[in-house]
Amino acid sequence: MTTREFAYSRRRSPWTRWLRSGFVYTFLLIVALLVGIPFIYMVTGSFKLNAEIYRYPVTILPQAPTLENYARLLSGKEIPYLRQFGNSLFVATTQTLLTLSVSALVGWGFAKYEFRGKRILFFFVLLTLMLPFQMTLIPLFLMMVRIGWLDNYLAILLPGAISAFGVFFMRQSMLAIPNELIDAARIDGANDFRIFWQIGLPLVRGALAVLAVLVYLGAWNDYLWPVIVLRTPTQFTYPIGLATLVGLYKVEYGMILAGAFIATLPILIIFIAGRNLLLNNLTIGAIKG
């Protein structure tokens, strides 16, 4: 490259960077609007009556703000929403704790122990990730019927506690733990569980936090499997309860939006509290192969 061409490229580069940055920020702005506008409408729509929601043209801000949707929803006269909200808290929290426990133990075994058939067994664990849940739905439902767990939270919690993704995620994070630490602990007389509890888990706190957020989010919003196995309205989780507001001739959009807004608050709190761990450790599975 001649001196003249080099000087031309230097004069051109600020404009190139500006155009590139402008394109990136424009794209991000469009994505933010596509994601943000429905959320904003959900919040503002929860303060509208059904008549205003159905009115055309559609407006974002309510013309006559009201808390009637929240009052009707929380009164429990139409659906036991507070009970169903509490059910969702119980199911999501319990399933998260169970999934973390099982995933950490199994992941530790795959990462730090050698046994016959280990690679083949782990291959089948990964293979289950390729199967959509709908393929196992009918056999799993028949199993719940034979056991007698219909309309019981055990039908949700125990199958959900075994997560192939959770095992893979924890195994990948635990591969990064130096084996020298484990050998030193064994020399000091520590048994296997103590090594796992006092050495393994503290070193993968970030990965556990990430997995907890992902599992909790999935359990909190789960609709398909709970609506199949739960039969009693007082046992329903909040997504099923909100779905019952969709009638044959009338849909209570105001109450649905109010319930959806209330249901987003725990997830927003969890995400804001753990966003740093989530962003810093979400790619931990790529550290070790």
Task: List, as one string, the DSSP characters of the chain.
Answer: --HHHHHHHHHHHHHHHHHHHHHHHHHHHHHHHHHHHHHHHHHHHTTS-HHHHH-SS--SS-SS---HHHHHHHHTSSS-HHHHHHHHHHHHHHHHHHHHHHHHHHHHHHHH---TTHHHHHHHHHHHTTS-HHHHHHHHHHHHHHHT-TTSTHHHHHHHH--HHHHHHHHHHHTTS-HHHHHHHHHTT--HHHHIIIIIHHHTHHHHHHHHHHHHHHHHH--HHHHHH--SGGG--HHHHHHTTB-SS-B-HHHHHHHHHHHHHHHHHHHHHHHHHHHHHTTGGGT--
- How confident is the model over 130-182, as pLDDT tens digits? 888 888 999 999 999 999 999 999 999 999 999 999 999 999 999 999 999 99
Pair 139, 237 in one domain: yes
Low-confidence winner among 42-51, 151-160, 251-260, 273-282 (lowest mean pLDDT): 273-282
Domain residue limits at 197? 76-286
In CATH, what number is assigned to the domain containing residue 274?
1.10.3720.10
Pair 188, 251 in one domain: yes
Q: Which pTM value belongs to this model?
A: 0.82
Pair 97, 38 in one domain: no
Pair 39, 93 in one domain: no
Pair 103, 175 in one domain: yes
Pair 207, 115 in one domain: yes
Pair 109, 246 in one domain: yes
Tally of domains in the chain: 2
The pLDDT of residue 21 is above 60: yes
The verdict on residue 64 lying in a domain is no
Pair 109, 174 in one domain: yes
Pair 97, 212 in one domain: yes
